[in-house]
């Protein structure tokens, strides 16, 4: 499970930092905020999702992942609102776009691994 968590974290960081840069976030401080927020949320989401997957109930897993992802968006939004100095886009927009892109690409990548 640790390997899975690390792969998930690394891919999430690569994707969300790239998307953030594409959204115009360039300052080191703001990139560090995004990295720290994602370390906090991704590890918890991935760990809980993996534990739920062990129950072998696909419906519970899908619902849990959806709820966990929504919670991650809210937590990242709150972190971004408090700490990001970048103010050209709403912290909520940044959080939603980053998470939609990383979740979608994660689903695609998972199909090929």
Is residue 46 within 8 Å of residue 60, measured between CB atoms?
Answer: no
CA angle 89, 29, 99 (to 5 degrees): 50
Residue 89, domain extent: 2-112
* pLDDT surpassing 80 at residue 10: yes
For residues 74 and 98, give the distance between their C-alpha atoms in angstroms, rounded to a whole number.
Answer: 12
pLDDT digits (tens, 9 = 90+) for 59-78: 898 899 999 999 999 999 99
pLDDT digits (tens, 9 = 90+) for 25-59: 999 999 999 999 999 999 999 999 989 988 888 88
For residues 22 and 9, give the distance between their C-alpha atoms in angstroms, rounded to a whole number.
Answer: 20
Q: What is the DSSP letter of 80?
A: H
What's the structural domain count of the chain?
Answer: 1
Q: What is the per-residue pLDDT for 4?
A: 83
Q: What is the per-residue pLDDT for 18?
A: 97
% of the chain with per-residue pLDDT over 90: 76
Nearest 10 degrees: CA dihedral of 46, 109, 74, 50? -20
Joined tokens for residue 3 = 């390997």
For residues 68 and 89, give the distance between their C-alpha atoms in angstroms, rounded to a whole number.
Answer: 24
């Amino acid at each position: 499970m640790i390997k899975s968590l690390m792969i998930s974290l690394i891919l999430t960081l690569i994707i969300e930092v790239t998307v953030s840069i594409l959204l115009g976030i360039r300052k080191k401080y703001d990139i560090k905020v995004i990295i720290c927020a994602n370390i906090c949320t991704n590890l918890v989401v991935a760990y809980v999702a993996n534990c739920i997957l062990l129950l072998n109930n696909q419906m519970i897993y899908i619902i849990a992942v959806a709820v966990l992802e929504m919670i991650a968006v809210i937590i990242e939004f709150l972190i971004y609102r408090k700490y990001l100095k970048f103010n050209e886009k709403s912290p909520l927009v940044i959080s939603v776009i980053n998470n939609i892109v990383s979740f979608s690409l994660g689903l695609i990548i998972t199909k090929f691994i």
